[in-house]
Amino acid sequence: MNSIYLIGFMGSGKTTIANRLGAKLHLAVQDTDKMIELYYQMKIKDIFLKYGEKTFREYEQEILGKVEKINCIVSTGGGIIETPDNVLELKKNQTIYLQTSWEVIMNRLKGDTGRPIWNNQDVDKQALLHKREGKYIEAASIIVNTDGKSTNQIVTEIITLIDK
């Protein structure tokens, strides 16, 4: 089986779903954000502070090229679709967009201090979600709406939709 990539805005549940899906399908899970932190020996928020978003996106693109292509669930960062080459790479794979409404995202991320873009008061996060929506849809082979669903419901839905 080819690897399955999960994409979506921050707070859409990519990491949680990836871990549960990996356990259900007995597949390894890779998380591009964790891979970046390990490879570059820095927390993502520190990369943003020290080098900026542009450098982070370059790191993200490099790491995307290093993920396992077979028998793996890959959780990506919310902005992975900001780089056109990443969208092209995602389109070559089974990519699932975890579509989540602004209201649900706001609820999930209330009080979250570990996300550089979420905590940047100068960024209109709702406008950013709206801007990214088309890119998520373009990159995805499957769209799963997560609103009002439990983790188990989402995982079950994904399992019924994926190519095994």
Per-residue pLDDT band for 164 (boundaries 50, 70, 90) equals: low
Query: pLDDT at position 114, please?
Result: 81
Topology given in CATH for the domain delimited by 4-159: Rossmann fold (3.40.50)
Tokens representing 79 are: 């902005």
Model confidence pLDDT, tens digit, residues 45-72: 999 999 999 999 999 999 999 998 889 9
Residue 28 CA to residue 81 CA, distance in Å, equals: 23
What HEC string does 63-104 produce?
HHCCCCCECEEEECCCCHHHCHHHHHHHHCCEEEEEECCHHH
Model confidence pLDDT, tens digit, residues 106-154: 999 988 878 888 888 888 999 999 999 999 999 999 999 999 999 999 9
Tokens representing 100 are: 């989540």
Q: Flag whether the pTM goes above 0.85.
A: yes
pLDDT of 88 strictly over 70: yes
Domain boundaries, the chain: 4-159
Contacts of 112 (CB under 8 A, 6+ apart): 11, 118, 119
Average pLDDT over residues 12-31: 97
Left, alpha or beta for 27 (phi > 0: left; psi -120 to 50: alpha)?
A: beta
